Amino acid sequence: MKFFIDTANIDEIKEAHSMGMVDGVTTNPTLIAREGRNFEEIITDICEIVDGPISAEVIGLKTEEMVTEARVLAAIHKNIVIKIPMTVDGLKAARILTDEGIKTNVTLVFSPLQALMAAKAGATYVSPFVGRLDDLSQDGLLLVEQIVEIYNNYAYDTEIIVASVRNPLHILESAMMGADIATIPFDVLGKLAAHPMTDKGLKAFLKDWEKRKK
Ligand code: G3P
């Protein structure tokens, strides 16, 4: 399973990258706005740290606006992936950009049929939002399971990025289902590595080591 980091924070990206855990980065307008810096500058900085797919989201709602923005963003670096909202205009933009050889990530996906349409539009990636479905008492992971099955049924190349990840179980269950990628907030990445028995065992080892005959 590929791990992307879901942040626009350069310090977090550097730290996760030094752990060897970053195969790519996803950003969104909220994450970019949180940094209080120029969009293109942030994306350029990220591209210098991580050699993998970097998702940058368009703001326009009309196909033509999305395509125009996408071409500018895609010119920043070869690794840029254009994140496009799952709307009819977004699907049209995904088809145009795919045909131009620009990679796309269709985002804000909340149903398996939206994911099917994204694949048919030629999207490189699709981003189902598990946490936001869970927030509505709907089963976010069921959505991932359904998309995996549909894509397998028809051998679509579109890769599934499990997004809106809130906890380690989202990643465990998605990995068991065979989702291609999880895009993980920095704090959740730390939780994956941690186990109280690891800490307890290490403490005991060090205590015994101190007691050894020197
Ligand atoms: O970047 C898309 C997604 O991962 C956002 O997650 O936590 O805002 O629902 P969240």
Asked if residue 27 has its Cβ within 6 Å of ligand 1, the reply is no
Give the percent of the chain with pLDDT over 90: 99
Mean pLDDT of all residues in 147-168: 98
Q: Give the residue numbers marked as catalytic.
A: 83
CATH fold, domain 2-213, is TIM Barrel (3.20.20)
pLDDT digits (tens, 9 = 90+) for 35-90: 999 999 999 999 999 999 999 999 999 999 999 999 999 999 999 999 999 999 99
158 DSSP assignment = P
Asked if residue 131 has its Cβ within 6 Å of ligand 1, the reply is yes
For residue 213, what pLDDT band results from cuts at 50, 70 and 90? confident
Ligand 1, residue 55: give the atom nearest the CA.
1
What are the residue ranges spanned by the domains of the chain?
Answer: 2-213
From ligand 1's centre to the CA of 95, what distance in Å?
24
Ligand 1, residue 132: give the atom nearest the CA.
9
Report long-range pairs for 33-42 (Cβ below 8 Å, ≥24 apart).
34/8, 34/9, 35/8, 35/9, 35/10, 40/73, 40/76, 42/8, 42/10
